[in-house]
């Protein structure tokens, strides 16, 4: 193996083409993964704000928040079940928001911003206790696009109902920047702009269940309550059920998978060519006592080192590339995604390097003579 590494470090130009190709493919993987994560995260902020909780949907809603209607009496019954610490409502609608002070305008453009307006009961790790009537919590994304601060007044809905920003939380983009108010305030604001969008009295779109221990136990507790007509699922399950997430995920995963196949082919082709070049050298190695496994181990070591260099350079180039992209593009570079790309690249390169195993196995040490 050390002989193979010496070759790599002493003849780096020989490996520069494959390293360069892999680097570019890694940049592509990072950007694709970034778009996948960015798109998914930008559609699921409301759910992610309730991570660790359990969501209760109408069992005919196909786990879609807008279609779901759950009686609030269910919340009362669930709240006394063991394994459940608290239950609250969660309602959502899409509307517009603008800055009350016309001189400031919205983002300097004097325009309205599309927002997702949520009504909620329970504080989470991300969301504080619901604000009082006339106040709202906005997320980082709205702060960015509308240049608002705590204490500013924004106008919600077509009736331009003023609310004061009480707090700004992390980016919870859910198809649009989010505005969070108490459930009663939400019903009031929605009723002013679009009365038909308000769920009937005594119903919520979905319920949020805060587990006493784990989400799995809370799901069991809801199922065991025997209420009928509702379905309790985890936040991850709710995200997976979103059509837009499924479509985006399957599309991008397909492209990412194809890119990994290209990495595999690039590495396999490179090592196939380099093995052809080295047939004479490998015959000498075998004649001198090297085993086929040792030669393959050397190739694998080279593949891993090439991958590591390509990953390091590829990540650095990706960071540079992403910094030049317009900020409104839904691209998020997540550490977990980078880890997946790094691991996937190393494994793929290892597999690619082993494609030559059969060829190396068949090299006859007698070729070293004559």
Partner 1 sequence: MSSPTASAAPAEPASVDTPALTMAGVSKIYGRDEQQVTALDEVDLTVASDEMVVLIGPSGSGKTTLLTVAGALLRATSGTVRVGDVDLGDLGDGKLSAFRRDRIGFVFQSVNLVPFLTARENLLAVRQFGGGRIDRAARERADQLLDELGLADRSKNLPSQLSGGQKQRVAIGRALMNDPDLVLIDEPTSALDSKLGQQVMELLHREIKQRGVAAIVVTHDERVIDFGDRTVEIVDGALQ
Binding site residues, partner 1, CB under 8 A: 2-3, 6-7, 10-11, 280-281, 284-291, 294, 364-366, 368-370
Q: Which is nearer to partner 1, 7 or 59 (CB)?
A: 7
Closest of 234, 94, 58 to residue 175, by C-alpha: 94
Closest of 113, 76, 77, 92 to residue 199, by C-alpha: 92
Q: Which is nearer to partner 1, 262 or 297 (CB)?
A: 297
Q: Which is nearer to partner 1, 219 or 283 (CB)?
A: 283
Q: Which is nearer to partner 1, 7 or 147 (CB)?
A: 7
**Closest CB 27 distance from partner 1, rounded Å:** 30
Distance CA 91, CA 10 (A): 64
Q: Which is nearer to partner 1, 346 or 368 (CB)?
A: 368
Contact 52, 211 (CB under 8 A): yes
Q: Which is nearer to partner 1, 109 or 291 (CB)?
A: 291
Q: Where are the alpha helices (DSSP H) in 95-196?
A: 140-146, 183-193
Element (H, E) at 354: helix 335-354
**Closest CB 308 distance from partner 1, rounded Å:** 20
**Closest CB 147 distance from partner 1, rounded Å:** 60
CA 366 to chain centre: 55
Could you tell me the two tokens for 8? 């790599």
**Closest CB 282 distance from partner 1, rounded Å:** 11
**Closest CB 17 distance from partner 1, rounded Å:** 17
Distance CA 207, CA 120 (A): 9
**Closest CB 362 distance from partner 1, rounded Å:** 13
* 3 state DSSP class of 250: helix
């Amino acid at each position: 193996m050390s002989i193979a590494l010496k070759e790599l470090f002493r003849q780096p130009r020989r490996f520069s083409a494959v390293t360069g190709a892999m680097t570019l493919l890694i940049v592509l993987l990072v950007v694709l993964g970034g778009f996948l994560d960015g798109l998914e995260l930008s559609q699921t902020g409301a759910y992610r704000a309730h991570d660790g909780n359990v969501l209760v949907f109408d069992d005919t809603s196909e786990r879609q928040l807008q279609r779901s209607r759950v009686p609030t009496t269910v919340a009362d019954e669930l709240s006394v079940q063991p394994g459940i610490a608290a239950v609250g409502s969660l309602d959502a609608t899409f509307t517009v928001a603008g800055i009350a002070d016309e001189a400031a305008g919205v983002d300097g453009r004097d325009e309205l911003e599309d927002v997702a307006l949520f009504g909620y009961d329970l504080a989470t790790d991300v969301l504080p206790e619901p604000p009082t009537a006339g106040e709202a919590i906005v997320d980082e994304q709205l702060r960015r696009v509308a240049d608002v601060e705590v204490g500013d007044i924004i106008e919600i809905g077509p009736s331009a109902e003023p609310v004061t920003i009480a707090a700004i939380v992390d980016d919870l983009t859910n198809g649009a920047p989010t505005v969070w108010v108490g459930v009663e305030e939400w019903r009031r604001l929605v009723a002013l702009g679009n009365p038909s969008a308000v769920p009937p009295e005594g119903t919520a779109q979905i319920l949020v269940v805060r587990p006493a221990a784990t989400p799995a136990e809370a799901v069991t507790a809801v199922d065991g309550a025997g209420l009928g007509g509702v379905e309790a699922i985890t936040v991850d399950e709710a995200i997976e059920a979103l059509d837009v997430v499924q479509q985006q995920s399957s599309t991008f995963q397909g492209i990412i998978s194809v890119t990994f196949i290209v990495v595999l082919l690039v590495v396999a082709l490179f090592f196939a060519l380099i093995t052809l070049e080295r047939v004479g050298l490998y015959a000498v190695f075998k004649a001198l006592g090297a085993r086929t496994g040792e030669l393959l181990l050397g190739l694998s070591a080279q593949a891993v080192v090439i991958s590591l260099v390509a990953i390091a350079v590829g990540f650095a180039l990706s960071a540079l590339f992403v910094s030049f992209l317009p900020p409104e593009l839904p691209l998020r570079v997540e550490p977990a995604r980078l880890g997946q790309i790094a691991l996937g690249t190393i494994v793929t390169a290892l597999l690619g390097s082993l494609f030559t195993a059969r060829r190396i196995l068949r090299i006859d040490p007698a070729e070293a003579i004559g």
